[in-house]
């Protein structure tokens, strides 16, 4: 077990020392995710599809042109009181029709809906891109956290191995009991298991980042030593809540969806209104007679006029669609309220996450200093006989546990800062660049 632990510590040290020149930073990971992430690619395709709603709506206001043709075989018999005449002939014709809507209110409403649907597609894409920013940052910090936990676990394991060797040596000379050896052996075995678990967790976190970026993340830049994290600006939770309720991307998307739903009610109601179209046609009809006593003919015709149509009754379908659209409009309005409340809650949670995170970082930094002093004091006390082996082991565990918690608190605070910006709809690449300057 000691040899296994020694090899693992060496492997951990080598892998963590690789984080130097050439290591990827947060901005690089973010850009890799932009070009590789499947979820964002789907959102980008949805955006392109949504942009087509505008030309589709505009088409209902523009003229339409159609061409039709026919070819028929005719067999006609005319019976009178004194005679019966028959003829068989072939007729051919074609017709070009131009239709320009003059008044179709539902088409105008659909055009305005198209403008809103394009805006909705843009908002949904920005929301997906913001989500990618958070996912990429979370995956990056998850890897850094796992690396720090592994480094701390490896250091604790090494310290426990050394303490075990010291306990065995002291037992051989009779200065400690076998209980001290057993306690040291137990802590050594436990820290070895913890280190193996940390290695496994790091592999999982690296693979999660690989799925997001398409690239291996063997080396990532971590936070600089002694870096200072800043408080939110403005340092007022209500300002962030108000911004989230009005400018959050989820709120904006819900508001546009509600506007589209309101227009849908108007569009369905417009099916009760008359429609007015200008129609122009030009065509040709030709008949070729198969009997000599009937003459063939060729006719050209051109017609320009205005057509008015007034729907009277369609089995109640129009009224039903109006009621359906009204219910969906009410749903969309409720979705807006839900989006506002959710964004406000996210802003509060993120703001408190930043402020409490800063306090935790400060507390853990102080705890790290005191834990280091406590470990040194216990080691010295063990050497002079005023402390027992378990005191040293406990002090070692406390120190490295504090280091792990300090590392996680720093990354959690940075993530809370990004989530706070996201809740207010203000998260962008400049925030990634700002965090990138904190990396070494």
Burial of residue 242, with CB atoms counted within 10 A of its CB: 0-12 exposed, 13-18 middle, 19 or more buried: middle
182 located within any domain: yes
Distance of CA 427 to the CA centre of its chain: 13
Look at residue 5 in the predicted model and tell me its pLDDT. 46
Q: Which residues make Cβ contacts (< 8 Å) with residue 324, sequence separation at least 6? A: 268
* Confidence (pLDDT) at 29: 95
CA 430 – CA 185 distance, rounded (Å): 51
CB burial readout 214-230, b (16+ within 10 A) else e:
eeebebbbbbeeeeebe
Alpha-carbon distance of 89 to 68, in angstroms, equals 21
For the chain, the domain total comes to 1
How many Cα neighbours within 13 Å face the side chain of 327? 5
Weakly modelled stretches of the chain, pLDDT under 50? 1-7, 9-14, 16-21, 292
Name the region of 251 (left: φ>0; alpha: ψ -120 to 50; beta: rest). alpha
> Which alpha helices (H) appear in 308-388, and where do they start and end?
317-384
Residue 142 in domain: yes
Contact predicate 88/74, CB 8 Å:
yes
Q: What is the pLDDT of residue 180?
A: 83
Tell me if 213 is assigned to some domain. yes
In whole angstroms, give the CA distance from residue 346 to residue 130.
Answer: 14
Decide if 67 is inside a domain: no
Sign of the torsion formed by the C-alpha atoms of 394, 395, 398 and 403: negative
Whether 35 maps to a domain, the answer reads yes
234 prior amide bond cis, ω within 30: yes
C-alpha closest to that of 415 among 371, 370, 349, 366: 349
pTM score, whole prediction: 0.85
74 domain-assigned:
no
Whole domain around residue 108: which residue ranges?
A: 26-61+104-274+310-437
- Say if 337 falls within a structural domain: yes
Q: CATH number, domain at 392?
A: 1.20.1600.10
CA gap 251, 212 in Å, rounded? 26
Q: Identify whether 383 is part of a domain.
A: yes
């Amino acid at each position: 077990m000691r040899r296994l632990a020694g090899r693992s510590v060496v492997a951990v040290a080598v892998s963590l020392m690789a984080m130097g020149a050439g290591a990827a930073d947060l901005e690089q990971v973010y850009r890799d995710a932009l070009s590789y992430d499947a979820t964002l690619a789907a959102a980008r395709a949805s955006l392109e599809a949504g942009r087509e709603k505008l030309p589709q709506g505009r088409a209902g206001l523009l003229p339409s042109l159609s061409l039709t043709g026919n070819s028929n075989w005719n067999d006609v018999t005319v019976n009178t009181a004194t005679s019966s005449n028959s003829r068989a002939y072939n007729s051919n014709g074609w017709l070009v029709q131009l239709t320009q809507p003059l008044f179709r209110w539902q088409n105008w409403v659909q055009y305005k809906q198209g403008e809103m649907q394009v805006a909705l597609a843009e908002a949904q894409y920005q929301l997906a891109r913001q989500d990618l920013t958070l996912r990429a940052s979370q995956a990056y910090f998850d890897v850094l956290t796992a690396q720090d936990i592994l480094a701390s676990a490896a250091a604790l394991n090494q310290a426990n191995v050394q303490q075990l060797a010291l306990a065995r040596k002291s037992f051989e000379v009779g200065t400690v009991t076998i209980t001290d050896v057993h306690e040291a052996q137990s802590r050594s075995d436990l820290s070895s298991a913890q280190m193996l678990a940390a290695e496994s967790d790091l592999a999982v976190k690296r693979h999660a980042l690989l799925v997001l970026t398409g690239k291996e993340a063997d080396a990532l830049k971590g936070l600089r030593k002694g870096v200072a994290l800043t408080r939110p600006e403005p340092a007022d939770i209500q300002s962030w809540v108000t911004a989230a309720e009005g400018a959050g991307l989820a709120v904006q998307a819900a508001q546009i969806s509600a506007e589209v739903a309101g227009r849908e009610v108007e569009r369905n109601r417009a099916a009760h209104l008359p429609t007015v179209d200008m129609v122009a046609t030009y065509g040709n009809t030709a008949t070729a007679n198969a009997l000599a006593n009937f003459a063939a003919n060729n006719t050209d015709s051109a017609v320009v006029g205005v057509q008015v149509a007034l729907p009277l009754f369609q089995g109640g379908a129009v009224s039903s669609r109006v009621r359906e659209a009204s219910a969906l409009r009410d749903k969309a309005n409720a979705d807006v309220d839900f989006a506002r409340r959710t964004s406000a809650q996210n802003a509060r949670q993120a703001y408190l996450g930043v402020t409490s995170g800063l306090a935790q970082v400060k507390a853990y930094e102080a705890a790290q200093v005191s834990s280091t002093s406590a470990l040194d004091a216990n080691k010295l006390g063990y050497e002079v006989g005023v402390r027992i082996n378990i005191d040293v082991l406990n002090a070692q565990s406390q120190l490295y546990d504090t280091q792990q918690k300090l590392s996680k608190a720093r990354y959690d605070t940075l993530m809370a800062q990004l989530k706070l910006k996201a809740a207010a709809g203000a998260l962008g690449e400049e925030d990634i660049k700002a965090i990138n300057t904190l990396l070494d």
